[in-house]
Amino acid sequence: MPKLYIIPTPIGNLEDITIRALNVLKSLDFLLAEDTRKTSILLSRYEIKVKMVSYHMHNEHKILQNIIDKIELGLNVGLVSDAGTPGISDPGFLIVRECVKHGIAVECLPGASAFVPALVNSGLPCDKFCFEGFLPVKKGRKTRLEILAHEPRTMVFYESPHKLLKTLNDLAGIFGNERQACVSRELSKIHEENVRGSLSEIIQHYEKSTVKGEIVIVVAGIDS
């Protein structure tokens, strides 16, 4: 039976991929990749040859029906993002929804996702949490943060390096300087860093540091 496979890929260390994921990659008719250049590095590492098709936020609506047609013709298709699990702050939702509508089997493999290690090693409660992904850049940002200021669960955010300080200051301005948090950077890589403390302490740290790499911000809930 033709199927869409959702395949998590390493968030940094190329060894963080499952044997099952490698076997699925080898079996595909073609692979949808957010950035074929980045995915080719992973495929080369494991000597996997598979046809790749670029699939990202700028073209997913345009090529979606064509992909569905190919799967219905009997082709097995895989989807990867640049890092982590597709659909988690990366393209994936649209094609999964469309496959479900058409009765196409979807299989999501377990694997890497940046927010899980960041949450667990933060030292903050992780029995209950909410994943917020990237905050709105402008419209709705302040309103969203004002709502989250009363959230009792641990909160998880993604952020880019050049926006980290702005987001930390926005969080401190609404949640309070003393709210506990952890910023995880370069997870699974040689320069992995986890900075824990109050929001004001973390801000002071990054005011003196050059920020690089993918970032996860974990913030305590109001009652933590």
Provide the CATH number for the domain around residue 170.
3.30.950.10
Same-domain check for residues 95 and 127: no
> What is the total count of domains within the chain?
2
pLDDT band (50, 70, 90) for residue 75? very high
Say whether both 193 and 176 belong to one domain: yes
Q: Measured between alpha carbons, how far is 211 from 222 in angstroms, rounded to an integer?
A: 27
Residues 80 and 122 in one domain: no
For residues 74 and 15, state if they share a domain: yes
Residues 59 and 85 occupy one common structural domain: yes
| Whether residue 74 is found in the same domain as residue 150 | no
User: What pLDDT was estimated at residue 1?
Assistant: 80
pTM equals 0.93
User: 44 CB contacts (<8 Å, ≥6 apart)?
Assistant: none
Return the pLDDT at 91: 92
Q: How many CB atoms lie within 10 A of CB 63?
A: 15
Q: Mark which of 90, 108, 126 sits at the end of a domain.
A: 108
* Res. 224: pLDDT tops 70: no
Cα gap 152→167, rounded to integer Å:
20
Helix (H, G, I), strand (E, B) or coil at 133: strand
- The residue among 108, 126, 147 that closes a domain is 108
C-alpha–C-alpha distance, residues 37 and 42, integer Å: 9
- Identify whether 133 is part of a domain: yes
List the structure tokens of 193: 């860093």
Q: Which domain holds residue 59?
A: 3-108
- Residue 119 is assigned to a structural domain of this protein: yes
**Are residues 86 and 132 located together in one domain of the fold?**
no
In this prediction, residue 42 carries a pLDDT of: 97
Q: Which amino acid is at 201?
A: E
Render pLDDT for 120-168 as a digit per residue (tens, 0 to 9). Answer: 999 999 999 999 999 999 899 999 999 999 999 999 999 999 999 999 9
Give the tens place of pLDDT for each residue, 186-217. 999 999 999 999 999 999 999 998 888 889 99
> What is the pLDDT, as a whole number, of residue 223?
83
CB atoms closer than 10 angstroms to residue 77: 22
Domain final residue, candidates 108, 143, 164: 108
